[in-house]
Amino acid sequence: MLPWRLLQWAFGVHGLNNLYELAKEITRLEISPVAAQNISKSNCRLMASWQRAFTIRRSQTASLGSLFSAMGMRNLATYGPRVCPSSLKPASGGLHFKCSVIILFFWSSRAMNKHRVVMTSAAMVLAVCFAAPRDAAAASRAAAQSHSSIERPPIIGLAHVGLYVQDISRADEFYGHVLGFAHFSLDKPSGGLFLNYYKINDHQYIEIYPGLKDDSQDRLSHVAFETTNIRRLRDYLAGKGVKVPSSLKPGLDKNLSFTISDPENRRIEFVQYMPGSLHSTKFGKLMPDRRISDRMIHAGFIVHDRAAEDRFYKVILGFEVMWYGGMKDNVVNWVDMRVPDGSDWIEYMLNVNHPSARTRGVMNHLALGVKQIQPPYRTILSRGYRPSEPPKIGRDGKWQLNLYDPNLTRVEVMESKPAEKPCCSPMILK
């Protein structure tokens, strides 16, 4: 331990008191493993350069090499904590931390004689041990345990479905004219169209992206769900072992959102609409009467491993089975999984192998809910669209009408309630 008098000599009594107060403040900081990965490397290199000069030994509270350290730099009475990662390994004969250490580097703006400059430059440090995890793995475990106790916030429904198209104007003819949705756009920061939002209602959209190259590319970009607390949901998923972003910040649309991959590498987004965002400033607007539907009730996509998807959607996210069935009573081709805090659902499309572009468009789809199927059918006919077949009752007992956009993505128009008894399993409605 460095002698108290030597510290007084190097920093002065006033400076030492400042260090002591700063130490008390920084020991209150919670330094997460995520934060430790996003730090200034220059400070860590500075610390590493002093490894050969000092060996600091403390009590047996952590394994060798542990380092979660906050460095507070005094600059005109303003302290900025910085964090060095646990990946910084001590060199042979260098720093040997047997606990997590807070190292406070103090720089006095007062004139100091050459000896004090030398001593300060040689890293006169105040090392303060604090109650921290024993090593990086323990830190991760502690964070996971903390996150695992977080209750999942509500997931209230589908927010949007993202689709790729080849021709924006042809897509607008379908989504804007035939289906009757108004839209607004978002440009790239570098210029040029990023996407069009076709508004179904204040909380649901069809996102249309340019850039579809050929038939080998999946038209379905991603599926998004709305939550009421995006930060808590991120922490909840982290506690369940799901890879999530280290931090959240407003997107180009000024909402808070993040995207993860489900077990089959399908992009799944969660969004919270924020005050002042591109969407919230248009609440109550752009919802003309010419829309054939005012609600998206489900989105479907190809699934190869139902058990793996169930572990994600059912066990982790809390989705519930509302119905399953198939073309034959003894074969399950479709599984409807309802969001935990709403009535929308996703549909597993099972037993699909080596699909063509046409088949992918049928399977990776979205569905618009209507009270009765005939009014929207007459509307789309009056707008010049000719479906390949008229409305029919599906195996789930509901009237449905299949429409296709110019790039073969299916838009299913469906009555919300069965007109006949569904096949295969009971349907649990909310």
Across 212-217, average pLDDT: 92
Q: φ, ψ for residue 256 (rounded to 5)?
A: -100, 130
| Per-residue pLDDT reduced to its tens digit, 376-427 | 999 999 999 999 999 999 999 999 999 999 999 999 999 999 999 999 999 9
The least confident of 65-74, 156-165, 216-225, 300-309 is 65-74
Q: How far is CA 192 from CA 188, 209, 210, 251, in A?
A: 6, 12, 10, 17
Within 8 A by CB and 6+ apart from 396, the residues are 323, 325, 334, 336, 418, 422, 423, 427
Res. 145 pLDDT band, cuts 50 70 90: low
How long a stretch of residues is the chain? 430
Across 47-68, average pLDDT: 35
Predicted pLDDT at 148: 64
Predicted pLDDT at 207: 98
Predicted pLDDT at 227: 98
Res. 2 pLDDT band, cuts 50 70 90: very low
User: Do 246 and 34 touch, CB atoms closer than 8 A?
Assistant: yes
Q: Which residues pair with 187 in a beta bridge?
A: 193
In whole numbers, what is the pLDDT of the chain averaged over residues? Answer: 78
The least confident of 18-27, 66-75, 275-284, 349-358 is 66-75
- DSSP class of 282: G
For CA atoms 37, 43, 49, 53, give the dihedral sign.
negative
Within 8 A by CB and 6+ apart from 203, the residues are 157, 159, 226, 273
Fold annotation for 155-415 = 2,3-Dihydroxybiphenyl 1,2-Dioxygenase; domain 1 (3.10.180)
The percentage of the chain sitting over the pLDDT mark of 70, rounded to a whole number, equals 66
Structure tokens at 82: 């910085």
Residue 28 has pLDDT above 50, yes or no: no
Pick from 375, 401, 381: which is nearest to 390 by CA? Answer: 401
Q: Which residues pair with 79 in a beta bridge?
A: 74
What is the edge-to-edge ordering of all strands in the sheet holding 267-272? 183-187, 193-201, 204-210, 155-165, 220-227, 267-272, 256-261
Q: φ, ψ for residue 10 (rounded to 5)?
A: -75, -40
State how beta strands 345-349 and 365-370 pair.
Answer: unpaired
Predicted pLDDT at 143: 57
Q: How far is CA 44 from CA 36, 70, 83, 92, 338, in A?
A: 11, 10, 8, 17, 48
Across 238-266, average pLDDT: 97
Return the higher-pLDDT residue of 78 and 401.
Answer: 401
The percentage of the chain sitting over the pLDDT mark of 90, rounded to a whole number, equals 64
Identify the top-confidence range among 38-47, 67-76, 414-423.
Answer: 414-423
Residue 306 has pLDDT above 60, yes or no: yes
Res. 430 pLDDT band, cuts 50 70 90: confident
- DSSP class of 287: -
- Per-domain residue ranges for the chain? 4-147, 155-415
CA dihedral defined by 327, 329, 335, 337, rounded to 10 degrees?
130
Q: How far is CA 390 from CA 61, 66, 360, in A?
A: 73, 68, 21
Structure tokens at 297: 């009730």
User: Do 225 and 159 touch, CB atoms closer than 8 A?
Assistant: yes
Across 103-132, average pLDDT: 39
Res. 89 pLDDT band, cuts 50 70 90: very low
- DSSP class of 341: T
Instruction: Quickly tell me which residue has 């204040």 as its tokens.
Output: 202
Predicted pLDDT at 144: 54
| Per-residue pLDDT reduced to its tens digit, 321-355 | 999 999 999 999 999 999 999 999 999 999 999 99
- DSSP class of 73: E
Pick from 391, 399, 395, 401: which is nearest to 422 by CA? Answer: 395
Other beta carbons within 10 angstroms of residue 137's beta carbon come to 13
CA–CA separation, 340 and 329 (whole Å): 27
Pick from 421, 401, 245, 249: which is nearest to 325 by CA? Answer: 421
Across 10-24, average pLDDT: 46
Q: φ, ψ for residue 334 (rounded to 5)?
A: -135, 135
Predicted pLDDT at 119: 41
Other beta carbons within 10 angstroms of residue 197's beta carbon come to 21
